[in-house]
Amino acid sequence: MGDSVLVLNATYEPLNVCTAKRAIVLMLKQKAEALETSGRLFHSTAMSFPLPDVIRLNYFVKVPRGEARKVSRRAVLARDNHSCQYCGSRSHLTIDHVIPRSRGGATTWDNIVTSCAPCNARKGDRLPREAGMHPRTNPRPPDPFAFIHLAVSEIRRSWRRYLEYAAA
């Protein structure tokens, strides 16, 4: 029962992805309702019911936006499409502070980019203008749905309408 379930806020805004087991617990505690099912059944000793594919919480969760989301290497790589923001390479990837920490740069979404190890070493402790190396795209906080895409390898058809609705 390792299936992933899309979790929506009470307002139908996508929040995250959880395991089917966690979704069932939320439903049994009446903290969530199933909006879509997978077509498979969950069996316990006392009951059977459809495995959820999309659940909606029965209460509102305040979601942090932008800088409030924790910066992670995995999220930066996904945001930058797993490519060096200086040369485009897809191998030996690291994370680079555009303005180095030693020069006052912070570990924030708008100051971190994906860099291959050779570019990171070449840029070193210099500012982009000093090194003549500028990121191909301006670093920014990831799209709110990036964290859902990070959690699963493929977006299910039953999830798409909720993700498209929220993006509109």
Q: Tokens 């316990």 correspond to what residue? A: 44
Q: How confident is residue 1, by pLDDT bands cut at 50, 70 and 90? A: very low
The pLDDT value recorded for residue 165 is 62
Query: Which domains are delineated in the chain?
Result: 4-63+144-167 (no CATH), 67-131 (1.10.30.50)
The pLDDT value recorded for residue 142 is 79
* Nearest Cα to Cα of residue 17 among 164, 116, 163, 128: 163
pLDDT tens-digit series, residues 24-34: 999 999 999 99
Neighbour tally for 79: CB within 10 Å = 21
User: Which sign does the torsion angle of CA 147, 150, 152, 153 carry?
Assistant: positive
Phi/psi for 104 (5° steps) reads 100, 5
pLDDT tens-digit series, residues 44-66: 888 888 899 999 999 999 876 65
Read off the tokens for 164.
Answer: 């498209």
The pLDDT value recorded for residue 167 is 55
Mean pLDDT of the region 92-121: 96
pTM (predicted TM-score): 0.63
